[in-house]
Amino acid sequence: MPTSIRNAVLTALSVLPAVRSAAHIPVRGGDTAAPVLRSQQDTCNQLKQALTGANATISKTRTTACIVSPKNTQEVSTVVKILSQTQTKFAIRSGGHNYIPGFASVNESGVLVSLSNLNTTVLSTDKKSAKIGPGNRWLAVYQALVPQGVTVVGGRVGPVGVGGLMLGGGLSYFATQRGLALDNVKSYEVVLANGSIVTATATNQYSDLYKGLRGGGSNFGIVTNYELYTYPVGQFSVDARAYSTNQTDAFLRAVAEYQQEGQLDPLSSIQLLATGPTIMLLYNEAVQSAKAFDAFYNLGSYTPIAAFNGSLLDIMALTGSRFSTGNISTYGETFTHKVDADLNIDLYNIFVEEIANLPTGASGVWVPNPIAASVATVGKQYGGNLLGLQEVPQQWYEWFITWTDSTQEQTIRDISQRITQRCTAATEAKDADLPYLFTNTAGIKQNVLSSFGADNVNTIKAIAAKYDPGQVFQKLQNDGFLIRKL
């Protein structure tokens, strides 16, 4: 994309509300250092002594006993052994995109294990796979691969971290063709609870662990490298456009129509942007007006934001420009339903009614994620995962509320609870509800693992018991969608 067009795109998108960023993880206030228990000081000292020879980073903060940033898999192994031996609470952070307090953070009694230094991207000599460190951001991955004519199934926004997205499922611009990001893993390199380092594939002795990591999240160990299958990548046709608010109902009906008809074309995808009836139409070839998007073309007048043929890197420039920074508290949840045009409108109206009650300074964002039936089908064809997806067109919702005044939190939590309750009741009333909860957009109180189905839950429990018999990742890991909560 020429520089002039790129600049115009960024200027146009600057008027859109920003979506969640890594900076949204709440930061503990206060000007004085919090007291650190002696045991945690000892753990941090042990980590420093054990990793000094390799120049690992050990730093103190006001919010944790210390942050350790291992530089390779062997150092991660050393860290896990020390944390296990000292029984020290810990959290693991990849890109830090998860906004739920405690999932990628820990208080002053624990150690934060940052994987930010595990950030290499290595393309295989035959260009059929790439080994990618969990500390990468997706933009860096694409910058390494796209000039080589290939890409992987990964995040849709450049600043998002690799590790969290991969373990949570991972939506991409190739989902209709290739399934979720976790469906496209060739192998996982994993540090287990006892510090041993294993490589899990679909066919080796750790095939059960490989299966578990396709849905079971952080219940088994720390993934230190993802080997992903690569695919050829060329030019895309991109059309970002905004419709007027009085077209909202028609727009939401068009989304349902696209899912029933246009989404059958696997080269097409859409991304609803975080403001009103605004959308990006994306086609995996440089074409003019792909028929798959007729439902949106037929809506009539619109405000153009950007239209061009360009590379995946150009798309990253488009979406990445909408990320903000700052100390913003965020809370949101998710739910899933079968495609229904009237229900799309009903649910949006529920959200609008509820956020009208938000206190001053708080705002809400509503982003449906249209999912093709092929996402579930391809997942099965690629060896299966543990998500329990049904092979029907469906919506995975991402809605969230942002605020900066800490005194508003309880009010916002109450409103949030009502949104999910009312929306879930509305989907059930239409017999359109689906059990699956998308890990990457779920709220802290949502029972994500149970939504995968009893058989998959039992599989996750059995794999965790085998590879973590001492329950290190259940007892010491600070928080997450863990089997200890079931």
pLDDT digits (tens, 9 = 90+) for 97-153: 777 878 888 887 899 999 999 999 999 999 999 999 999 999 999 999 999 999 999
What pLDDT is stored for residue 101 in this prediction?
78
- The model's pTM is 0.89
> Tens digits of per-residue pLDDT, 323-354?
555 578 889 999 999 999 999 999 999 999 99
**β-bridge mates for residue 189, sequence order:** 199, 225
What pLDDT is stored for residue 98 in this prediction?
73
CA dist 166 and 153 (Å) reads: 10
Nearest to 232 by CA among 165, 312, 156: 312
Residue ranges of the domains in the chain? Answer: 22-114, 329-449
What pLDDT is stored for residue 34 in this prediction?
40
Contact 436, 168 (CB under 8 A): no
Tokens of 426: 């509305």
Residues lower than pLDDT 70 in the chain: 1-39, 52-57, 59-62, 321-326
Contacts of residue 39, defined as CB under 8 A and 6 or more positions apart, other chains included, come to: 86, 88
DSSP state for residue 20 in the 8-state scheme:
-
Q: Does domain 22-114 have CATH number 3.30.43.10?
A: yes
CATH number assigned to the domain with residue range 329-449, chosen from the 4 options 3.90.930, 1.10.3470, 3.40.50, 3.30.70: 3.30.70
What pLDDT is stored for residue 379 in this prediction?
96
Nearest to 354 by CA among 344, 345, 363: 363
Report the amino acid identity of residue 307.
Answer: A
Taking the mean position of all CA atoms in its chain, how far away is CA 255? 22
CA dist 192 and 73 (Å) reads: 11
The radius of gyration computed from the CA coordinates of the chain, to the nearest angstrom, equals: 22
CA dist 56 and 43 (Å) reads: 15
Report the amino acid identity of residue 24.
Answer: H
Place of tokens 């290190």: 472
Contact 128, 360 (CB under 8 A): no
What pLDDT is stored for residue 448 in this prediction?
97
